[in-house]
Structure 1
Amino acid sequence: MKIAVFLPNWIGDAVMATPALRALRDEFSNAEITAIQKPYVAEVLNGLDLVDHSLDWVSEKSLKTQLQFLRQLRQERFDLAVLFPNSFRSACLSFLAGIPRRVGIQRDGRGWLLTDVLSAKDRSTPYPAMDEYLRIVAHLIGEESSDLQANSGLSRKMELAVTEADRQRWESFWNKQSAEFKRHPLICLNPGGAFGAAKHWPVAHFAELAQRLAGELQKSVLVVCGPAEKEEAIQIVEQANHPLVTSLADEPLHLGLTKAAIQQAELLVTTDSGPRHFAAPFDVPVVTLFGPTHIMWSETFYDRGQHLQLAMDCGPCQQRVCPLGHHRCMKDLSAARVFDAVVSLLGQQQSKVA
C-alpha cells in the first residue's frame, strides 16, 4: 500500500502532526508512506521513521511547473491520500493525481473532491489543530471519537529528531564559544514568527530578559533564529550587551541547527511560532508568549510548558498585523513578567528532580 500524506504548511503544525503520523505509521506498518510537503517544512521530520519518502510540494504557480508536479504524483500511483491541510488545492491535487481514496476535513468547498469527508467544526470556538490531525487518522483506523482525549488509542506525544549533520552543526557553533559561556546552563530565546508582525515580542523586551537571565541567574543565553529573524537576533544581543548572550545569526542558518540548540537547552522562551514546538519533543521546559492568537488553536497539552497572554478587550484577534495599531497584547507583556515565569518554571523542574 502506498500512502501520500499532505503535511501542514507551517513548521509548528508539522510538528503537531507527528502524533497523527505516528498513529498512521503504527496502523499501516507495512505501507510505503510519502510526505508531500512545502520545501521549508522538509527538515522537520528528518531523522524520524514516520515516513519513507518525501516530495516537495511546488509553490511556483506556473502551469508548466504544476503539471510536472501533478505528473510526478500520478506516477507514484498512491492508494490513499491523507490531507492534513484544509485547502482546496491539496484536495484537488490528490483528486487529479488519481488517488482512489482521499481523506480530509470538509472545508474550502472541497468535499466533492474527497472520498472520506469529515465534518468541519465550528471555528467560532477554538480547538487544537493537533486533535484535528489525530481525528483524520482516527477515522482511518476506526477509532473515531468526539473526545480524542478520552481515546486511549491515540497519543498527543510529539516527536522530533536531531540528525548527525545537525549535531555537527551544533558542535561547530559550540566550539567557537568562550569557556565562560560553556560553563553555564543554556536558555534559548526564539523571537519572531512567520505568521506576521503581531506575534512579535519587542526586541527591547527580549534584550532586557536576556540581560536578566545572564546577569541574575547566571545562564548562558542563545537567541535562535531563521533568516527572517536574523537582524532581530543581532539587535537583541547588541542591546543585551552581556558576554553570556549570543545568537546563531553568524552561523549558516538551518532548521536542524535550531532543533539541536533547543535540545541542549535548559529552557526555551519563545513567541507562538514554529520552533516553540521543538521544546516538547525534547522534553525541554518552555515559556510561550501569546499575543493575537488564541492559545487553544495550537494547544499541545505539554505539562512542562507555561503560556503567557494578557487579557485584552480587543483580542485575541487572530490578525497578522494589529488592526488598532497599538500592539499592546505583546508590548504590554513585560520582560519582568516573563522573567518571573522563567524562574517559576525552572523552580518547578528543580523541585521535581529533588
Structure 2
Amino acid sequence: MKKYHKILVVGPSWVGDMVMAQSLFIALKNARPDCRIDVLAPSWTLSLLERMPEVTQAIAMPLPRGKFGLIERIKLGKSLRPEGYDQAILLPNSWKSAIPTFFADIPVRTGYIGEYRWGLLNDARKLDKKRLTMTVQRFVALGLPKDAKLPPVCPTPALTISKDRQQAVIDKFKLISSPRILALCPGAEYGPAKRWPTEYYAEVARHKIDQGWQVWLFGSEKDKADAAQINKAASGLCTDFTGRTSLAEAVDLMSLVNNVVTNDSGLMHVAAALDKKIIAIYGSSDPGFTPPLNDKAQVISLNLDCAPCFKRECPLGHTHCLTGITPDRVLQLIALTEAEPT
C-alpha cells in the first residue's frame, strides 16, 4: 500500500501564477502531510519550484508555451506512467495541457472544464467566477473535494531562501550590504497599460538615493530600456539588474531588499512570497483578481470608471489610471513603512 497520495500538478506558464500556485501546494500538504507533489511546468519556472518546500519534484515541460505538439504530449504522458500518480490537478484551462495526464493513465484528473475537455478530465469542475473571484482561490479550490465550501481559505505563498544562495549573488554582483535597499520593478510582461511611467520611478529613485538608500532595478531583457532611462535620470546611481540575472538570481537578490515598488507583475508576486514591504501599482488590471498575497503589501489603484479594462494598451490613449498615481504618494507610503521591522 502506498504511504502517500501521489499528485501531479500541471503548473501555469506565468511567474506570478506559479507563485500563487504555491498556495495550492501548501493546502494539499495541510490536508495530507504525507502526500507527494510533483509539478509539470515550463523549465524557466523550475527555480521557483526549487524554493517551494512542498514540491518533491519539478518536471520540465519539453514544449515551449503555445506549441500544441500532440505527439510530444502523448509521449510525455506515456513516459509518466511508471510514476504511478493517483491524481492530476490541471491549473491551465487549455485542452492541450490535459493531454499528458490522460495518456499517463492517472486515475483522477481534476481541472476546470476550460476548452471543452470533458473527455480528458474525469473530475471536471465548473468554474464559478462569482464565488471564486481571485486566481489563487481558483487554484486552491481544485485541491478540494467538489462539494467543499467556497471560497476556500488560501495559504500565503512563502518562498524559501538559503544564506548560501544569498551570499552567492552578493559575491557574483559584488554587492555591499545595507539596511536600506529599495527594489523598483518597472516592467510588466502583459503590456504598457500595466506599467507606471518610468519618469515616476526615476523620481522615487532619486529621492531615496538622496536619503542614503540603495536602489536596485529588476526586470527582464525587455525591461532594459526602461531601466536605463530610470538609471540615467538618477545619475547612474541605481544598481541595474535588468537582463543580467536568471530568475533564480532575481529571487535571491529580491530576498535582500527592504521595500519594493512594483507594477502588477510576476516580480510583484515573488516579492510578496518573500514577505517584503510592497507598494503595488495597478492600472489596467484588477487588484481584486491578482493581488499581492502579503499582509505587508499596499495596493494603489485609482479605481477609475474605465478601469480595470484588462487591455495591454490603454484603449483611450491616456493611461490616466497610472499617470494619476504620483511619485509623492508612493514616497509617502514608503516613509510610513520605514520605521516598521522588515
Equivalent residue for 1:113? 120
Equivalent residue for 1:130? 136
Partner AA of 2:110 in structure 1 = V
- State which of 249, 273, 293 in structure 1 corresponds to 2:285: 293
The offset of 1:235, in angstroms, is 2.3
Partner AA of 1:240 in structure 2 = A
Label 1:264 to 1:54 Cα distance change in 2 as closer, same or farther (>3 A). Answer: same
Mapped to 1, the partners of 2:323 and 2:72 lie a distance apart of: 43
Q: Is the 8 A contact 2:268 2:292 kept in 1?
A: no
1:248 corresponds to 2:207: no
Equivalent residue for 1:201? 196
Equivalent residue for 1:212? 207
Equivalent residue for 1:14? 18
The offset of 1:106, in angstroms, is 2.5
How big is each residue's C-alpha offset from its partner over 1:191-246, in whole Å with a ceiling of 9 and x where there is no partner?
1112222211221111111001111x321111112222233222211121163x22
Count matched residues.
335
Q: Secondary structure at the match of 2:314?
A: coil
- State which of 323, 333, 337 in structure 2 corresponds to 1:341: 333
Q: Secondary structure at the match of 1:296?
A: coil
Label 1:12 to 1:72 Cα distance change in 2 as closer, same or farther (>3 A). Answer: same
Q: Secondary structure at the match of 2:47?
A: helix
Mapped to 2, the partners of 1:304 and 1:63 lie a distance apart of: 44
Equivalent residue for 1:37? 41
- Unmatched runs of 5 consecutive residues or more in structure 1: 150-154
The offset of 1:160, in angstroms, is 0.5
The offset of 1:42, in angstroms, is 1.4
Partner AA of 1:235 in structure 2 = Q
How big is each residue's C-alpha offset from its partner over 1:317-338, in whole Å with a ceiling of 9 and x where there is no partner?
0112222222222233222222
Q: Secondary structure at the match of 1:17?
A: helix
- State which of 230, 250, 264 in structure 2 corresponds to 1:236: 230
Mapped to 2, the partners of 1:168 and 1:227 lie a distance apart of: 24
Label 1:132 to 1:183 Cα distance change in 2 as closer, same or farther (>3 A). Answer: closer
The offset of 1:300, in angstroms, is 4.8
Label 1:62 to 1:146 Cα distance change in 2 as closer, same or farther (>3 A). Answer: closer
Mapped to 1, the partners of 2:132 and 2:34 lie a distance apart of: 36
Partner AA of 2:78 in structure 1 = R
Bigger Cα displacement from structure 2, 166-175 vs 109-118: 166-175
Label 1:161 to 1:230 Cα distance change in 2 as closer, same or farther (>3 A). Answer: farther
Mapped to 1, the partners of 2:105 and 2:158 lie a distance apart of: 31
Q: Is the 8 A contact 1:211 1:242 kept in 2?
A: no
Partner AA of 1:207 in structure 2 = A
The offset of 1:280, in angstroms, is 2.8
The offset of 1:75, in angstroms, is 4.7
1:97 corresponds to 2:96: no
Mapped to 1, the partners of 2:240 and 2:254 lie a distance apart of: 13
Q: Is the 8 A contact 1:189 1:221 kept in 2?
A: yes
Q: Is the 8 A contact 1:158 1:281 kept in 2?
A: yes
- State which of 2, 12, 16 in structure 1 corresponds to 2:6: 2
More helix by share: 1
How big is each residue's C-alpha offset from its partner over 1:272-317, in whole Å with a ceiling of 9 and x where there is no partner?
0011112333321100000000111113552211001123222110
- State which of 88, 109, 120 in structure 1 corresponds to 2:95: 88
Q: Is the 8 A contact 2:183 2:259 kept in 1?
A: yes
Equivalent residue for 2:218? 224
- Unmatched runs of 5 consecutive residues or more in structure 2: none
Q: Secondary structure at the match of 1:297?
A: coil
Q: Secondary structure at the match of 1:291?
A: coil
Label 1:126 to 1:238 Cα distance change in 2 as closer, same or farther (>3 A). Answer: farther
The offset of 1:163, in angstroms, is 4.5
Equivalent residue for 1:152? none
1:188 corresponds to 2:183: yes
